[in-house]
Amino acid sequence: MGIFDKIGSKMKQELIDIIEWMDEIGDTMVYRYERHGNEIKYGAKLVVRESQEAVFINEGKLADVFKPGTYTLETKNLPVLSTLQGWKYGFESPFKAEVYFVAMKQFTNLKWGLKNPVMLRDPEFGPVRLRAFGTYGIRIADGARFLREIVGTDGNFSRDEITNQLRNMTVSRFSDVLGESKIPVLDLAANYDELGKFIKERISDDFKDYGLELTSMMVENISLPPAVEEALDKRTSMGVIGNLNDYTQYQTAEAIRAAADKPGGGGMSDGMGMGMGFAMGNQMTHSMSNAMQGGQQRQPQQQPQAPPQPPPPPPQVMFHIVDQGASAGPFDMNTLKQMAANGRLNRDTLVWKEGMAQWSPAGDVPELSSVFGAVPPPVPPPAA
């Protein structure tokens, strides 16, 4: 090979241009391919790997978008850019354009959490404060929109630059969902999956506005304040212990056994063992005494009670009467006696009270016998 062939070969190699990007860090979402003056040789090779998109920007305008594959940058492969550049009949000279590589893979294990507790009203514990945290995953679904809405002219955009904004949006939606769910605090642990799915549905549209897809949403923990958790632990311990008297006897017996098994305890161990034994014996004697008395515990001395009050008087019996063809009343017994004395009421007068099936003559009602007892019978007619 002659010297001119070597020079030509070297120049040919310099004209070959390969545009590609390999993310060595793993958290870059958008990378702008660095070119001197943004100049790209016509006929260059563009390599777009799986989980990538290449977006061409010309004079601040989005031109072409390339999916995974290898491309030769010619007029036929750059329809929009060719129109913007005015390559009507093709043009084989370097051109200027910005190339952005967009990572389309999933970005997982992104953290979210409540900075301040959220106040809720629990049906069992009343007002409570809850903290929560978890993880979520995202993917760039629309590279062009993500560039327009979020990245702008940033040449190396990483996930850390957007996680704060996404976390705030997630926390806001989570607080709303948790307040609307009305799930009791003790049942939240059994509903983590349901809460995660519900939040994902509620917040997906907000992510789409940025060109993102929310791929997963997980609730890892929802917790009460430490003081409330401590009180809840004590309540749980009481439930586990059960009968407090049985537990006390068991603890006493264990202490006696431990004192007896301790070598070289001397007089102190013996004294403690005897004291515990006496205490145990007194407790057992007290229990046996209660059992012999039928399990009845001695009642404290009662204070003298006030004398019983007489019961309230029985309700007065009230009767209706038929007076001049119409119902009148009701009247009590005293009034009926007066009516019998002045002749308005007699034994043939129809009467009725609550509980009677129908009207009856007053003389046939036993309760009215006292009404007519003080009234003299009619005067007999004079003898002929």
Q: Are 31 and 101 in contact (CB under 8 A)?
A: yes
Asked if residue 139 has pLDDT above 90, the reply is yes
How far is the C-alpha of 359 from the C-alpha of 352, rounded, in Å?
A: 5
How far is the C-alpha of 20 from the C-alpha of 50, rounded, in Å?
A: 12
> Is residue 238 domain-shared with residue 329, that is, in the same domain?
no
> Is residue 220 domain-shared with residue 249, that is, in the same domain?
no
Domain endpoint, select from 178, 207, 224:
224
> Is residue 208 domain-shared with residue 237, that is, in the same domain?
no
> Is residue 220 domain-shared with residue 239, that is, in the same domain?
no
pLDDT of residue 247: 64
Q: What is the largest CA-CA distance in the chain?
A: 182
Asked if residue 60 has pLDDT above 50, the reply is yes
278 within some domain: no
Q: What is the CATH number for 333?
A: 3.30.1490.40
284 within some domain: no
Round the average pLDDT of the chain to a whole number and report it.
76
Per-residue tokens: 38: 């943004």
pLDDT of residue 273: 53
Helices assigned H by DSSP within the chain = 3-15, 79-85, 143-146, 160-181, 192-208, 226-241, 244-261, 266-292, 333-341, 369-373
> Which of 147-161, 183-197, 226-240, 248-262 is the least confident region?
226-240
How far is the C-alpha of 258 from the C-alpha of 322, rounded, in Å?
A: 94
How far is the C-alpha of 10 from the C-alpha of 17, rounded, in Å?
A: 13
> Which of 30-39, 157-166, 289-298 is the least confident region?
289-298
> Is residue 141 domain-shared with residue 165, that is, in the same domain?
yes
Q: Are strands 61-66 and 118-122 parallel, antiparallel or unpaired?
A: unpaired
pLDDT of residue 153: 75
310 within some domain: no
Per-residue tokens: 363: 């003389």
> Is residue 90 domain-shared with residue 116, that is, in the same domain?
no
Number of domains the chain contains: 4
* Domain limits for position 241: 232-256
Q: What is the CATH number for 130?
A: 3.30.479.30
> Is residue 66 domain-shared with residue 15, that is, in the same domain?
yes
How far is the C-alpha of 96 from the C-alpha of 59, rounded, in Å?
A: 9
Per-residue tokens: 111: 């953290």
345 within some domain: yes
pLDDT of residue 4: 43
> Is residue 150 domain-shared with residue 164, that is, in the same domain?
yes
- Give the amino acid at 210: Y
Q: Are 138 and 207 in contact (CB under 8 A)?
A: yes
> Is residue 78 domain-shared with residue 111, that is, in the same domain?
no
pLDDT of residue 215: 92
What are 259-308's pLDDT values in tens digits?
A: 777 665 554 455 555 555 555 556 555 555 555 555 454 455 556 666 77
pLDDT of residue 10: 44
Interacting residues of 67 by C-beta distance below 8 A, sequence separation 6+? 48, 53
Per-residue tokens: 119: 């106040």
270 within some domain: no
Task: Give the Cα-Cα-Cα angle 377, 379, 381 (nearest 5 degrees).
Answer: 140
Which tops the pLDDT comparison, 287 or 74? Answer: 74
Q: Count CB-CB contacts under 10 A for residue 93.
A: 8
How far is the C-alpha of 155 from the C-alpha of 102, rounded, in Å?
A: 11
> Is residue 123 domain-shared with residue 185, that is, in the same domain?
yes
344 within some domain: yes
Interacting residues of 214 by C-beta distance below 8 A, sequence separation 6+? 136, 137, 138, 200, 203, 204, 207
Which element (helix H / strand E) includes 135? strand 126-140
pLDDT band at 11 (very low <50, low <70, confident <90, very high): very low
Domain endpoint, select from 103, 126, 155:
103
311 within some domain: no
pLDDT of residue 44: 83
Asked if residue 34 has pLDDT above 50, the reply is yes
Task: Give the Cα-Cα-Cα angle 256, 258, 259 (nearest 5 degrees).
Answer: 65
Asked if residue 205 has pLDDT above 60, the reply is yes
pLDDT band at 255 (very low <50, low <70, confident <90, very high): confident
pLDDT band at 77 (very low <50, low <70, confident <90, very high): low
Per-residue tokens: 77: 């492969």
DSSP structure class, residue 157: E
297 within some domain: no
> Is residue 69 domain-shared with residue 85, that is, in the same domain?
yes
Q: Which of the residue ranges 155-169, 242-256, 309-323 has the most confident prediction, judged by mean pLDDT?
A: 155-169
What are 88-126's pLDDT values in tens digits?
A: 444 555 677 788 999 999 998 899 888 888 888 888 778
> Is residue 210 domain-shared with residue 115, that is, in the same domain?
yes
* Residues facing residue 214 across a β-bridge: 138
Domain endpoint, select from 103, 136, 165:
103
Mean predicted confidence (pLDDT) in 189-204: 86
The pTM for the full model equals 0.53
Dihedral over alpha carbons 253, 255, 261, 265 (to 10 degrees)? -140
b/e sequence 45-63, b meaning 16+ C-beta within 10 Å: ebbbbeebbbbbbbeeebb
- Give the amino acid at 57: I
